[in-house]
Each structure stands twice: as C-alpha cells, then as structure tokens.
Structure 1
Amino acid sequence: MESLLSKSWEESKKTWHIAGPAILGSVFQFSISFVTAAFAGHLGAVALAAVSVAQNVIEGFAFGILLGMGSALETLCGQAVGAGQFHILGIYLQRSWVITLATATVLTPLYVFTAPILKLLRQPTDISEVAGEFCVWVIPQLFAYAVNFPLQKFFQSQRKIWVITEIAGAVLGLHILLNWVFVVRLGYGLAAAAIVGNVSWWLINLAQLVYLFSGCFRDSWTGFSLLAFQNLSAFFKLSLASAIMLCLELWYYTAVIILVGYLKNPDVAVAAISICMNYQIWTLMIALGFYIAVSVRVSNELGANRPQAAKFSVVVVLTTSVLIGTVFMAMALIFRKKLPEFFTDVPEVINEASKLGYFLGAIILLNSIQPVFSGVAIGAGWQTSVAFINSACYYLLGLPVGAVLGFKLKLDELGIWIGMLLGTLVQTSVLLLIMFRTKWQKEVMSVTHRRPRKQKSASENGKEESSCNPSHGVENCFMNPRNTNI
C-alpha cells in the first residue's frame, strides 16, 4: 500500500508538472475569446449572439480543423522524445506549419462568406450580418492559429510549458486593457474587439517564435530546412486523422448552436446557451490541461517502452481530473443564477441561462473525463478509431435526440442541451470501456514500428520504404530513416 501511494505521488508530481502550466495556459488563451464575448455582450443581445455564433460556428469550425492538424505532433513528437530522437522534432514542426498554413488559406473563404453561410443555415438575419462582419475582421486570427498550434505541440512534447503559460498570461492582461480602452472608453464597438483579438494572438505567436529561435532548443531546432516539404502526404494523413477526431468533438457544439438558432425567439435562446457554453468551455480548458499531460506522459512512456507506466499515468490523471471536475460541477449548480450576469444585463437571457444550470453541471463533470481519454488516444495514436466513436455518439445519437426534444417535444434549448449531454455520456462510456480493455504491451509494439531507426544503406532504405503500408498506420510511412530524412 505504501509503495502504491509513493508511486501515485511521484506520478502525480509528473502530471502536475505538465498539467499545471498547461491548465493556466489553456485558460489564458481561451479567456481571450471569453473576454471578447463578455465585452460584446454589453453592446447588446444581438452583438453577444453574433459574436457567440461567429466564435462557436465559424471560428470553432476552423479552430477544430487547425488544432487537429497540429495535434499530429502530439503523437509523433511525444513518442520521438520518449525514444530519445530529438533531432527530428524541428522537421516535424515545419511540416506541420506547411500543412496548417495551407489549410488556413483554404478556410479563408469561410470567413469571408460567413453571413450568407449563416443565412443558408437559417440563422436570424440580424445575427448573421453582424457575425459576418466580425468574421472578416478576425481573419488574421485564423492564420495565427495555424502558426500557434504546431508550435505549442512542439514545446509541450519537450515539457517546455511554463513559457507558453507566462506569455499567454501577459497577453491576456494586455487584451483586457485594450478591450476596455477601445470598446468601452472610445466606443469603437465590435470592430475594435476583433482587431484587439488579432493583435493579442499575434503577440503570443511572436513571443513564442522568439523563444524557439533563442537557442533553447539546440537538439530539436536546427533552423529551417527544405526537408519540411518532403513526404508531406503521409504526414498530412496523420494530421487529417487527428483533425477529424478533434473536429467531430468541437463541431458537436457548433451544431448545437445552429440548432438553437432555429428555435423561436432565437436571439434570447442563442445568447442563453452561448453563456452556458462559455462557462462549459472555460472548465473544459482545465480538463484540457490534463489532456495535454496524459498525451505527453503516454506518448513518452510508450516511446520509452514502458507500457505499465503509461497505464498507471492514465489512472492517476483521470482520477485527478474527475476530482477537479466535481468541484466545478458543484460551483455551476450553486451559482447557476449568478453566472449569466457576467455576460449580460438582459433579465430574459439571465433567466433562460439559469434554467440550464443543472445540465451545465452534468456536462462539466463529463468533460472532466472525456478529454483525458482523447489525450490517451492522441498519445497512443488511436485517432481514427476515436473519430468513428465520436461520429456515432455525437451525430447519430446526441444531435438527433436533441432535435426531437427541442423541437418535437417543445423543450427548446433545454431539450437540445439534454441531447448534447446524452451524446457526450455515451461517448465517454465507450472510451472508458476501451481504456479498460487496452493491451498496453501491444501499444508499445505499435510505437516501436513508428520510431526512426539508424541510417541504412540506400538499397536497404529503398526496400524499407517500398514495404510501407498506410493501412498499418500512416505514421509508419514516414517514421523510417529515409522518410524522415535523418
């Protein structure tokens, strides 16, 4: 028993060494959009609804794709670090940048045509028009995401997290100040809020790039290389699998916002459910710290051929996250009538948002569990399997049930929220079952196939490359010496 407690304490320290700064960093970065929505809420119900729709539908759509594309680095860099292969991390980072920046370029028309897209989705005209203007203003943030996400995964895999946190915290303070000056004092409205958001995100990127080029990563960053443009197709496949897995989760909330827009009195309904989502996503940022921690720990331990350590890490991280989620659930239930007042002064919106308080507490608890499982999936390279699970639970169960409860049974936004909760509950239960049945030694064998190996002769490399089979995992197709260009 004493040995177990000692082992748990040591693992907990390793977890918090990653999760602590990751939680703060996630909260700081999410709070940039949180603050923007809060200032917009005091410009009126339409402004709040428009910014919420823009952030949750259009930006959320793009955010999910780019975050997922960047998350391929969590699998590859984490396992490479565990295996001691630091010298390939810089090439991975640059390949990811090539893919995410190209993806951001493809997504730009989505921002330009936000207003007609929302109208096509039958969203209210006034909300669609304002959201369309806001999205055009925040196009620079789209490219900021493309630079930021791969860079953060690069740092996280090497446990260089405190610098990310400190940068995000400093920029958040400046973001609040600039919003107060330009939105409140000078009265420049939503345009100012959008531009301040652009400035804040690019300040984060600039500071992180300075850190990258500072010489602190001599083993993993040796400068820009044309090798980054080689073997992009295999790298893209893994990035796409990661994007699909995460997008199916993030778009779930986007779809909920769209459904709510079809209800009667949509201005109030969208504003109310957006308030709950902002708090739910804020607490989700806490769980995402543990998502990062378990992803790093699992990938590192599997890469180092320590399957039992990886399994034990999952248990410790999950237990810690659930305990913290329980505390936040209790807070949501106790203060359910007061929390909406931070966003709005409209009594009708406050009343509708407070009605969702009990279900907000339940989703907060579930979201203390689900991101940990997603982190395990990223660390172990299970993206494709989890994508199928997410698709079934969210889109074949949660949304249809929410639509029936909300529209057919006239429960409005409450019914839609219940459907969302059901989909998340089933998805979490399925992933929990998978975790219990996982053969961790088998996962180590899979990781071994992905590791870069020592340089061979040209003939041996050609033979090895020709035997690559994407059906055995797309990572295998570029983790050999020739494909990684080591």
Structure 2
Amino acid sequence: MDDNQVEERFLAQKEEDLKTRVWIESKAIWRIAFPSILSRVTSFGMMVVTQSFLGHISEVELATYALVQSILVRFMYGILIGMSSATETLCGQAFGAGHHHMMGIYLQRSWIVDGITATILAPLFIFATPILRLLGQEEEIAVAARSISIWFIPMIYNFVVSMTISMFLQAQLKNLIVGWLSTASFVFHIFLSWLFVDKFNWGVNGAMAAMNISGWTMVFGQLVYVFGGWCPNTWKGFSKAAFFDLLPVVKLSISSGVMICLELWYYSILVLMAGYMKNATIAIDAFSICLNINGWELMVCLGFLVAASVRVSNELGRGNAKAVKFAIKTILGTSTCIGIVLWVLCLVFRNQISYLFSNDEEVAEAVSSLSILFAFSILLNSVQPVLSGIAVGAGLQTMVAYVNLGCYYVVGIPIGILLGYVVNLQVKGLWIGLMSGVAMQSLILAYLVWKTDWDEQVKKASERLNRWLLEPTEEDQSPPHA
C-alpha cells in the first residue's frame, strides 16, 4: 500500500470518527433539548394563548396584559429564573461528578432562597396600578391593570417550584416528564380558556383563572414525580442540610439573577418606551405581539441554552475539557441551522402574524412594518441563548452580567430611544435598538467562549464541588427502593 492510500484511509477513518462523535453528541443534546423546548414552548404558550383570548375581548385589555406581562412579570421572572439557574449550575456539575445525593439538597436550598425572593416581589403585583401611573402610562391602561396583575401572584410561586424542579431533572437527563406535563397543561389551558372566556363569558377573570389552574396542574405533576420515587438517587427526602451553606448559593443565585434580569428587563424597558409613543395602545400592541412571537421562538432556543448548560456542566464535573469544546461546537451548529429555518418561515408569513392576537387593521399594519427586523431577531436568537447557556454551565454568570449591562443599557436602549423618538422611527426605531444590543452581546460572548481556558474551568468546577460537598449518610448510600 503506497503513502497516498494510507493517507486516504487515515482521512476516511478520521471523517468516520467525526461523524460518529457528532451523532453521539447530537443524541445527548436532543435528549436534553427536546423536552426543554417542549416544556418552555408550551409554558410560554400559556401566556400567549391568554393574551390572544384577552386581545379578542378588547384592545385595551390586550395592551394592559402586554404591559403587565412585559414589565412586572418579566421583572419578576427575570429574577426568579436567574436565581434558579444557580440550581442548574450546581446540579449539573454535581451529577457529572457523581455527587448525586447533593442534588436534592441543592434543590431544597433553591426553594428556600427563591421562595423568600418571590414573597418580597409579590407587592409589585398588588400595587400595579400606582406603579404604572408612576411610570407615566395611560390612565385607562393603568386602571385595567388592577384586575389582571393580582392574578399573577399565584404564578410567582408556580415559577419558583416548576423552574427549579425542571433544572433539577434536566441535570440528570430526566426532563422528558417535564415536557409531557407541560404539553398536557398547555392543551388543558386552551380548553379552559375557551370554556371560561367564550362559553361562560367570564372575561379577564376567566382567562387569568385558566392560566393559573393549568400552571399549577403541571407543578403538581412535577412534585408527584420527584416525591413519588422516580428520582431515587438524587431525592432522599427533605433534609436539614438544606438550611446550611445558603450564603454561597445566595451569591451564585444573585449573580445568575443579575445576568438574566438585565436581559429580560431590556425587553421590558423597550415595551415601556412604546407606551410613551403616539397612539400608545397600538404601539404597545404591535411591539408586544412581535415580542411574544419572538419570545415563543426564543423558548426553542432556550432549549439549546439548557442543553449547552447541562452538557458543559456535566463534562466539567467529569473533568473532560475536550468534551466541553466539542459539545459547544455541536450545539451552536444545530441551533444556528434551526434559526435559519425559522427566519425563512417568519419572512414568508410576516403579513399574517398579527391576526393571531388581534383583528385590528392598524395593529396588523404596525406589525407588518416590523416584520423584516423581527425576522433577523429570530436569527440572532439561535446563537445568543446558547452562548449564555455555556456561561451558565461553567458558572460564569457574573461575567455575562457585565456584558449584558454594557450591550443592553449602554448600547441597545440609547440607540432605540434615539431612533424611536429623535429620528422619529417610532416602534421600528426601538426594535433596531433592541437588535443592536443583542447583536453586540452575541459577538462579545462568542469571543469570550472562544478565549476561555476550559482546562482551568475544569479545575474551578472541581474546587467548587469539593468545597460544598457533604459526605453521604448511610441513608443516602442505601440502595434505591424498588
């Protein structure tokens, strides 16, 4: 056999090995991403369905719900999902390192920290009307907010339990149950919304009650799964250890919370800016419809954020830096391909999107004018969440928080205000500002991920896990019950 044949065989073998590695990694990614996409799309879908039913009650109710959801709910959701991502980091690395008994303790610690935080946030929804007045919103919208915002209080505690359990389960590759529970709740929610709003004519109260009942149905199913013995190695029952070493969890939770909050509040501030424009109701309606579709697509990409976080944290826990790098490349490639497909679909159906939420022609025209910018936002969404997920998996939330602060609040919002008000591009100007911040954040995070020393991150993950490790008790070491 000559040298050329040897080289060709070597290259063929190398290509075959690469295909096998990509196939194995892709299966691992989709095992995490698909249930997460399913659960996030359907959970967010509950809010979108509620908005759709309210939009067909009146334009004022649609604008009010959009404002409450975009400002107060995003404010609260940003804090809670950010603080819950500490559970994602700790459980993922503990599972990778084989410290299974610590995962249930981390889950309980997150309930304590997040539950206290949720209670502190509850008054925001009680005093929604004076808060919106203080922010200078239209009186009609501020008054209408009273009957909507109070219904979100039970949802705060729903988020505390459901988000942390989802992260606990996905770290151990058991989140398929979350996807099916969320899907069943979504179907149930559509039925309840139709029953309460269209058949019983309960209006706003009917739509909001349907959302709460459906949401808590899913949480009850998650609790039954965890407490019922389906997580024998990671859930050993309630433990006093959950009340110790809370300060490090609080610190990681706060940096996680700041990272996510700066991102979600960015969108909220832009919706708030839309409320100060001419014909504010139409402006808020159009902007919030695009944000909701954008948010729904973002839920798909957040599934890859979760996959990136779990794969990176698991491999860091195992001490395998090469596997971390390969997982990052595979996830980014997969997410980008899906983003391109969704981008094309958005361009094709850009003139029909608004009719899902409103029959108003002015709203439809405003949404259509945003469609090209909106489509490119969809494309950006396919990259940015994955980069954030990599940071969460490595425990680099503080670094991302600084990036978010600079890109969103020093670049994005000023550009949006300048183009929206000074150049008078109105809602289109705000959306250009939004895209500017997200694009810059994506570029910086891509550079940081590329420059990260993953061997060093392996060492840091090992040090963190060993510092917080509690030795398993005899009960923890006992074989799981049948």
Alignment TM-score, normalising by the size of structure 2: 0.94
Equivalent residues in 2 for 1:150-189, closer than 5 Å: 150-189=164-203
Counting matched residue pairs gives 461
What amino acid maps onto 1:193 in structure 2? A
1:124 alignment partner AA:
E
Q: Which residue of the partner structure matches residue 367 of structure 1?
A: 381
- What amino acid maps onto 1:37 in structure 2? Q
- Which residue is 2:156 aligned to? 142
Q: 1:471 — aligned with what? A: none
Deviation at 1:179, TM superposition (A): 0.3
CA contact (8 A) 1:406 1:413 kept: yes
Q: Does 1:236 align with 2:250?
A: yes
Match for residue 6 of structure 2? Answer: none
Whole-Å Cα distance in 2 between the matches of residues 421 and 297 of structure 1? 28
Match of 2:464 among 415, 435, 450: 450
Match of residue 377 from structure 1: 391
- 1:239-270 per-position Cα deviation (integer Å, ceiling 9, x unaligned): 11111101111111111110111111000000
Q: Pick from 294, 297, 309: which aligns with 1:283?
A: 297
> Where do 4+ consecutive residues of structure 1 move more than 6 Å?
none
Preserved contact between residue 72 and residue 239 of structure 1 (Cα < 8 Å): yes
1:73-152, aligned counterparts within 5 Å? 73-152=87-166
Indicate the RMSD between aligned Cα atoms, in angstroms: 1.5
Superposed CA offset, 1:361-382 (max 9, x none): 1111111100001100100000
* 1:415 maps to 2:429: yes
Listed as ranges, the gaps of 5+ residues in structure 1 are 453-475
Post-superposition CA distance 1:182-201 (Å, at most 9, x none): 11111111111111111111
Which of 330, 339, 342 is the matching residue for 2:344? 330
CA–CA distance in structure 2, aligned partners of residues 416 and 156 of structure 1: 36
Q: CA deviation at 1:122?
A: 1.1
Quick one: distance in 2 between partners of 1:88 and 1:349? Answer: 51
CA offsets 1:365-406 (integer angstroms, 9 cap, x no match): 111100001100100000000000000000011001100100
**Contact 1:27 1:282 survives alignment (8 Å):** yes
Give the Cα separation in 1 of the matches to 2:472 and 2:269.
Answer: 39
Shift in Å, 1:481: 4.0
Deviations 1:65-109 (A, max 9, x none): 111111101110000000000011111100100011111100011
Instruction: Give the Cα separation in 2 of the matches to 1:73 and 1:428.
Output: 24
Alignment of 1:441-480 (within 5 A): 441-452=455-466, 476=467, 479-480=468-469
CA distance, structure 1, for counterparts of residue 436 and residue 337 of structure 2: 21
In structure 2, the residue matched to 1:264 is 278
Task: Kindly indicate whether residue 37 of structure 2 is the aligned counterpart of residue 23 of structure 1.
Answer: yes
Aligned partners of 1:263 and 1:205: how far apart in 2?
39
The equivalent residue for 2:79 is 65
Shift of 1:138: 2.1
What are the residue-to-residue correspondences of 1:339-418 with 2, within 5 Å?
A: 339-418=353-432
* Secondary structure at the counterpart of residue 122 of structure 2: helix
Percent identical across equivalent pairs? Answer: 42
- Which of residues 247, 250, 254 in structure 1 aligns to 2:261? 247
Please list the CA deviations of residues 454-478 of structure 1 after superposition, one character each: whole Å capped at 9, or x if unmatched: xxxxxxxxxxxxxxxxxxxxxx5xx
CA gap of 1:128–1:482, structure 2 versus 1, over 3 A, is farther
Kept in 2, the 8 Å contact 1:79–1:447? The answer is yes
**Alignment-derived partner of residue 52 in structure 2:** 38
TM-score when scaled to structure 1? 0.93
Q: 1: distance between equivalents of 2:469 and 2:53?
A: 51
Could you tell me how far 1:480 is from its partner in structure 2? 4.3
State the alpha-carbon separation in 2 of the partners of residues 91 and 449 from structure 1.
18
Match of 1:224 in 2: 238
Counterpart for residue 462 of structure 1? none
